[in-house]
Structure 1
Amino acid sequence: MTVTVDEIVQKPYVQLLAMLGESNLPPGGLATVHDLALHLHLRPGVKALHAGCNAGFLSRELARRTGASLLGIDISPDMAEAANLRAKQEGLDHLVRYEQQDTRELPYADGEFDVVLSGGAMAFVRDHRRAVDEQIRVTKTFGLLGDVQFYYRKQPPQELLDRVSEVIEVPVPQYSREYWLDLYDTPQLQPYWRTDADAAWRTDEEVEAYSRAMVERCAQGWSEAAREALFERFQHIFGSFNENMKYLGYTTYVYRKVDAGSEPALFL
């Protein structure tokens, strides 16, 4: 693959990640993968939908660990294509596949999935109510919905918010922990499991080392100018994200779907 300096500098963030096959881990990283695999009771025979799959790391890792069948969807066709390629490369395409779809308008039948999950992508979806209602609709009765979402524990400087917005090319979503809990407060869902944690952040030296390692992984055979341009862009992207992490917490949660009007429960 021949890449120019201009392409590296000008390519939108999402397209750059798709081109390079760089995976986005969910908030909490591998600990969240473990928690969702455990508390969503994923196992062979379970059919799950991964909404907002990005490059597909979470669904691939869940399929690898549990043997469940997962369908990942993303609004970006580039991400869906990159995710399918990674699934094939990792020998997981018999368990997981990806499509370009809008989580606010799912083309699937009512109750088609045992489990619906996401990994932090909902923050970037417009009209959360519509998206959650669609996810509830395609989950079977007594099935499970799971997600993990960042929230701001304290207010970051505006300069930092502007810098992160410039990286991701949309305004930084600023939601509270209570916002996400209220979003899923509906008669069709019962709280099943939840945990909270502070986001982890790294030193500047660790960010630099990671950026160098990503260049070595992604840019073999590139010109020295292109490699240096990619390093500088990685430094800007991951450095901005890392600084933002100092202000964030995250909540991981699982809900149980019931029929509206079903027997109420007092002590859940």
Structure 2
Amino acid sequence: MIEHDDKVITPEYLRSMSYPDFVALMKQDNTPPGSAYTVNYWIEHAGLSNHSVLLDLACSTGYSSRYCFSKTGSSAEGIDISEMAISTAREKAAALGAEDKLRYQVSDACSLPFSNDTFTHILGGCNFAFIQDREKALAEVVRVLKPEGIICTSNFYYRTPPSEEIINGVYNAIGFRPDPEWTLQYWQDFFASADLELYHEKNHELSSQPRDELKKNLLSYVTAENEYTRHLDETTQNAFYERYLAIREPLNDQRNYQGVTIQLWRKK
């Protein structure tokens, strides 16, 4: 019998968890769209170095800031509203012996606990889409960013309008309803509205993975690759697999309508 927070891990318990908490429980790296490719693009084109001071916005388990630290020696502050995600981010930083360079705290992107002009770079990923008052969050990000500082993003956008069935499937999977109006132009206009300058952009079209291949890969991940779930008993592994599949299938279905835009925005 496997427990978490004094509760037995059952399919019902896993289904009751929020998407961020489920990811954190698995100690999974919740990566930006494009994963390491995207972060390497940020490092190369935004000039990250051991002198860079990063804000990992809505950092989840801290993948982006850890990756930048491992490649450049940069320091970072990470914030997220999920206590479980922050706990996991701290554990992963400690495993690197990087507690003095990578610090994480529970905080809201719309009320950042930092002084003006603190950071050289903001690692934003696709997180502005998940923030309800994203205009306020963007204003906060610009406030704490140094002049000439860079916001690094990697946003999903819709190339063609998805059906209501697709949108509902995503909402049921992760508790978040994407907006079909989030086109490439939407994101360009959103960041430009804060008087930011776009100086690097790379766009990629997405396509869905065959369903049998998706299932095979997820089963392998849960049973053999994930650092936490691979040590669990078969019944508990199956519970994780079913929950993870219920998340990933709707997200995979919408990929035929999506692209990813990697953008770097400079504060004037």
Contact 2:64-2:123 at 8 Å conserved across structures: no
**Amino acid paired to 1:239:** E
1:228-267 maps to which residues of 2 (within 5 A)? 228-258=238-268
Which residue in the other structure is 1:132 paired with? 138
- What is the Cα deviation at residue 112 of structure 1? 0.8
- What is the Cα deviation at residue 53 of structure 1? 0.9
**Equivalent residue in structure 1 for 2:48, among 33, 42, 48:** 42
**Equivalent residue in structure 2 for 1:203, among 201, 210, 215:** 210
Which residue in the other structure is 1:178 paired with? 185
**Amino acid paired to 1:238:** R
Matched, 1:104 2:110: yes
Which residue in the other structure is 1:225 paired with? 235
**Separation in 1, partners of 2:128, 2:262:** 13
Contact 1:28-1:199 at 8 Å conserved across structures: no
Cα–Cα, structure 1 residues 222 and 186, in superposed 2: closer, same or farther, change >3 Å?
closer
Which residue in the other structure is 1:159 paired with? 165
Which residue in the other structure is 1:265 paired with? none
**Amino acid paired to 1:185:** A
**Amino acid paired to 1:213:** S
Contact 1:64-1:92 at 8 Å conserved across structures: no
Q: Percent identity?
A: 27
Higher mean Cα deviation, 168-177 or 52-61? 168-177
Runs of 4+ with deviation above 6 angstroms: none
Cα–Cα, structure 1 residues 223 and 191, in superposed 2: closer, same or farther, change >3 Å?
closer
**Separation in 2, partners of 1:86, 1:138:** 25
**Separation in 1, partners of 2:23, 2:47:** 30
Cα–Cα, structure 1 residues 152 and 141, in superposed 2: closer, same or farther, change >3 Å?
same
- Cα offsets for 1:12-59 (capped at 9, x unmatched): 222111111112221122211111111221100111111111121111
**Amino acid paired to 1:206:** E
- What is the Cα deviation at residue 166 of structure 1? 0.6
Unaligned runs of 5+ in 1: 259-268
**Separation in 2, partners of 1:29, 1:224:** 29
- What is the Cα deviation at residue 68 of structure 1? 0.8
Aligned-residue RMSD, C-alpha? 1.8
Q: Secondary structure at the match of 2:170?
A: helix
**Separation in 1, partners of 2:213, 2:49:** 36
- What is the Cα deviation at residue 136 of structure 1? 0.7
Matched, 1:53 2:59: yes
| TM-score normalised over the length of structure 2 | 0.89
| TM-score normalised over the length of structure 1 | 0.89
Q: Secondary structure at the match of 1:107?
A: coil
Contact 1:5-1:225 at 8 Å conserved across structures: no
